[in-house]
Amino acid sequence: MNMRTHQLRCIGTGARISPDQAPSDFRDPETRELYEIEYPWSETAETNGEPRNLPNGAALRHLWAERRDSTLAIDQSGVWRYRELLPILQDDTHAVTLREGNTPLYDLPRCADNLGLDFLLAKHQGMNPTGSFKDTGMTAALSVAAERGFQWVACASTGNTSAAMAAYAARAGLRSIVFIPEGKIAWGKLSQSLDYGALTIQLKTDFDGCVRILAELVKRHPIYLLNSVNPYRLEGQKTPAIEMVEQLDWQIPDHVIVPGGNLANGSALGKGFGEMKHLGLIDRVPKISVIQAQGANPLFQWFTNDHAELDPVVADTRATAIRIGNPASWRKAARIIEQTNGWCEQVSESEIALAKAQIGAEGIGCEPASAVTLAGLKKLVKMGHVQKGERAVLLLTGHTLKDPEYTIDFHRGELAQDLPEAANYRRPPLTLEADPDVVLRTLDAEIKKAQTV
């Protein structure tokens, strides 16, 4: 690795190590705290009285815009286009890319109107190559693995991480191993890792149990760990923050609402916004709030009790992407929420299902875990934390086809039965006789019903 570009800093003690000293599980051996990537120009970097020599913000904005016209794969990537802010490779040509990023920023006018807001946007990371936000982090971390000569990579996953890792490993010509909890994964996601050639192992445990097994494995064999404890993942996952403000013509949203699973996403976005402010690209950072499912809410519980450490929970939610009871990046996420004056909330299974249908009614599908953002925003608005004229951005983390069974179950009436409003969004398929008169009578009835809603 190029030592001159970056080092690893322990988030607990502040101790710094060079990249080639990183433990296999990316945790400080004594404190068990995670590391983060620090550059010579980072706000936390030790300068010994020397000038920081910050990159020129105006020049970067011009360069990044210019690269949009490039035909090079690295420039067409919505991650590596911003490579000056993630100089983690010795040679940029080693970047493994599927042209990730460049995801759309949609407006949600109906949802905004329902909430009494003037502005509501959705940054849809489900439009990445493998259908989730994981691609932005995976291109960064797997490129590091490939450049350092690893032949095997591995992850524990509830679905999206495995799909992203397997795809990028295949692209790089590496072998990949996926550990998944038996019977607790959306099969649409698992099918991706199978298709991309991963060795898939189901363990008779939950996600956190898979993580424990994998941590032992990487200590004993030269396998590169690609879960979100890997700080290079967060370097890629910070780039949607840059992309977001670029899409807003460098205007900063007031609130960014993020789903809370393993909690690396909010941490990464906070790092991205913080670095942009430090470099003068923006003059403030948005409030970052994390929303968890009620059945997988350890961070929410930490914020509402007086414990110094996080108490793991036995996770139980149909939003499989965030079914995590002992999130690795909880301390990083808590720090970002506190630094940006954001909030942490929890939402019920019914609230998630209804919110997903409401986003779908905008013509924009998402996986269940993404919908916690809208469900949580409703609570933040009700509590007065988000005001009418403020601009909020929901981070949608996964594509709707990641878990099609969930969508079918909602429209069959098997989800959110306790919320009367959900009936307005159900569209179960109709089975009719092959008779035009029957079809026309049914259509007339449907038109009349729609006019009364």
Reported as type and span, the H/E element at residue 330 is helix 330-339
Domains of the chain: 105-129+233-422 (3.40.50.1100)
CA dihedral 123, 124, 130, 136 (to 10 degrees): 0
Give the pLDDT means over successive 10-residue stretches in the chain (453 positions): 73 94 94 95 84 86 96 97 96 97 97 97 98 97 97 90 96 95 72 92 87 91 94 98 97 97 94 96 97 97 91 94 92 95 98 98 96 98 96 97 93 95 92 92 88 70
Q: Are strands 152-156 and 119-124 parallel, antiparallel or unpaired?
A: unpaired
Rg (CA), the chain: 22
| Residues 273-297: tens digit of each pLDDT | 999 999 999 999 999 999 999 999 9
Span between the terminal Cα atoms of the chain, in Å = 61
Per-residue pLDDT, 358: 98
Count other Cβ atoms within 10 Å, centred on residue 288: 26
Are residues 158 and 185 in contact, defined by beta-carbon separation less than 8 angstroms? Answer: yes
- How far, in Å, CA of 68 to CA of 243, rounded? 12
Per-residue pLDDT, 159: 81
Are residues 342 and 289 in contact, defined by beta-carbon separation less than 8 angstroms? Answer: yes
- How far, in Å, CA of 357 to CA of 260, rounded? 20
Per-residue pLDDT, 263: 94
Q: Which residues of 41-75 are buried (b: 16+ CB within 10 A; e: fewer)?
A: bbeeeeeeeeeeeebeeeebeeebeebeeeeeebb
| Residues 243-263: tens digit of each pLDDT | 999 999 999 999 999 999 999
The SS3 assignment for 346 reads strand
Q: Output phi, psi for 231, to 5 deg.
A: -65, -20
Per-residue pLDDT, 132: 96
Are residues 251 and 315 in contact, defined by beta-carbon separation less than 8 angstroms? Answer: no
Q: Side by side, which strands form the sheet with 223-225?
A: 199-203, 175-181, 152-156, 223-225
Sign, CA dihedral 57-59-60-61, equals: positive
Per-residue pLDDT, 184: 62
| Residues 169-195: tens digit of each pLDDT | 999 999 999 998 876 666 777 788 999
Per-residue pLDDT, 4: 55
Are residues 92 and 80 in contact, defined by beta-carbon separation less than 8 angstroms? Answer: yes
Altogether, the residues listed in the chain come to a count of 453
Q: Considering only CA atoms, which of 224, 21, 2 is closest in space to residue 94?
A: 2
CA dihedral 364, 365, 367, 373 (to 10 degrees): 30
DSSP string for 76-92: HSTTGGGGGG----SSG
- How far, in Å, CA of 305 to CA of 184, rounded? 29
Q: What is the DSSP letter of 133?
A: T
